[in-house]
Amino acid sequence: MLTDYHTHTERGPYTVAWLEQFLEQAHSRGIQEYGVSEHGYRFVQTAHLLDNPWTRERRTQDLDEYHAMVTKARAAGHHVKFGLELDYIPGKERELEAFIQSYPFDYVIGSVHWLGDFGFDLLEMKEQWVARDIKSTYDEYFGILTQMVESRLFDFVGHADVIKVFGHEPQDQEFLQQWYERLATTFARHDVVVEVSTAGLRKPVGKMYPAPQFLKACHLARVPIVINSDAHRPEDVGADYPEAIAFAKDAGYSTLTVFESRQRSQHPIG
């Protein structure tokens, strides 16, 4: 079994024809469990969950049209899961819960992309890293990630150490290891899945998410995984999967998580 649940079709129209290009690539790379998971901030229905000047400019889509695309694809015989990637913002737990329950998602990805008004993985805000203390920024990010998991609102954690996206990484390995072990324990305690994401290989950092020692800590804590590409183009679906599979197996994993209607099961890695 191979999964790719973290993909985005937002660069094209919400049509079955456009989605089929992603599905064809998934099929060609042996992915049996494909899901689409648009960014929540793009939809008018989520304005109350995350609102700032950057998201306001990009909130142009209707979630019902997105859902209709998936429904039509299923009617056409395609096996595709309906997901969403939501930004976790502390203090918005009640609103997030109500929103998540209002649509028939197969899974919901929880991600942290914002530290206050700092979109740390955005090219438009990259220069703000110059004025930041790296360890303090990691503390802030991992602290919010902990809150996100403790909320129990999400099915899996998206790109758990995406904070390293531009290559800003603490040199203090003990500091990182302490966080990895603390987070892995939190993931296990709150029964959440963590993704192995190949997206970092296509980013400036040039590394898989999460870091090898982070993933090994998750395995020791018995945290389940999915493997995802975070593709924003059809050609990136299943990108670098041989490396991801080897990476997961090296950490000790032999199974992947499959989602349906927010229920999960384990299957051997393909």
Q: Which residues neighbour 148 within 8 Å (Cβ) at sequence distance 6 or greater?
A: 88, 110, 112, 154, 157
At residue 169, the 3 state secondary structure works out as coil
Q: How far apart are CA 67 and CA 103, in angstroms?
A: 9
At residue 113, the 3 state secondary structure works out as coil
pLDDT at 53: 96
| Per-residue tokens: 190 | 């709150």
pLDDT at 270: 78
pTM of the entire predicted model:
0.97
Rounded alpha-carbon distances, angstroms, from residue 262 to 9, 108, 126, 239, 244:
21, 8, 35, 25, 24
Angle at 225 between CA 188 and CA 150, to 5 degrees: 35
Domains of the chain: 3-268 (3.20.20.140)
Identity at 266, one-letter amino acid code: Q
Full pLDDT tens readout for the chain, 270 residues: 999 999 999 999 999 999 999 999 999 999 999 999 999 999 999 999 999 999 999 999 999 999 999 999 999 999 999 999 999 999 999 999 999 999 999 999 999 999 999 999 999 999 999 999 999 999 999 999 999 999 999 999 999 999 999 999 999 999 999 999 999 999 999 999 999 999 999 999 999 999 999 999 999 999 999 999 999 999 999 999 999 999 999 999 999 999 999 999 999 997
At residue 37, the 3 state secondary structure works out as strand
